Amino acid sequence: MSTAARVVLDASVGVKWFRRERGSDAALLLQQRSLTGEIRLAAPTHFVHEVLAAVNRENDAEVVIEAWEIIKASGIAIIPLDDAVIAEAARQCDALGCSFYDALAPACAVLLDATLASADARAHGAFPGVHLIEG
């Protein structure tokens, strides 16, 4: 069993892998640390949808397909919605005052006993131990 720390990514971090902006270097460092086995990445299901939608807004189909390949190669464990994720996300909505959609990554972090990495300080700044990436 791996002793590498688990980090749950909010889609705001994943978008920075493909869009050169403030915080991109820090986001890419998380991806590199995953590739070397230093950390294990996880994300809720909607991470993929949101990141690829952002890539698609500025690029053609070929780039979206390449982005999907990069996401797959990053070794991110995609966490499906289930009863536990839904219940914890509802609790995180109350605790953080954020939307249900924004509460999914913190919910996964709680359930996996992981660090949350986010570039969305408004939604996740109050989450205990959050690793905020400037955005």
pLDDT tens for 111-123 read 999 999 999 999 9
Residue 2 lies in a domain: no
Residue-wise pLDDT for 74-113, tens only, equals 999 999 999 999 999 999 999 999 999 999 999 999 999 9
State the residue range of the domain holding 60. 7-132
Which residue matches tokens 């996300």? 89
Whichever domain contains 26, its CATH number is 3.40.50.1010
* Number of folded domains that form the chain: 1
pLDDT at 2: 61
Over the stretch 33-83, which tens digit does the pLDDT of each residue have?
A: 999 999 999 999 999 999 999 999 999 999 999 999 999 999 999 999 999
- The reported pLDDT for the residue numbered 3 is 78
* CA-CA-CA-CA torsion sign (96, 91, 103, 134): positive
Q: Please tell me the predicted confidence (pLDDT) of residue 134.
A: 84
Residues 6 or more apart in contact with residue 8 via CB below 8 angstroms = 41, 42, 43, 44, 79, 105, 106, 108, 109, 112, 114, 115, 116, 117
> Is position 1 within any domain?
no
Residue 135 has pLDDT above 70, yes or no: no
> What's the rounded Cα separation, in Å, for the pair 50 and 109?
18
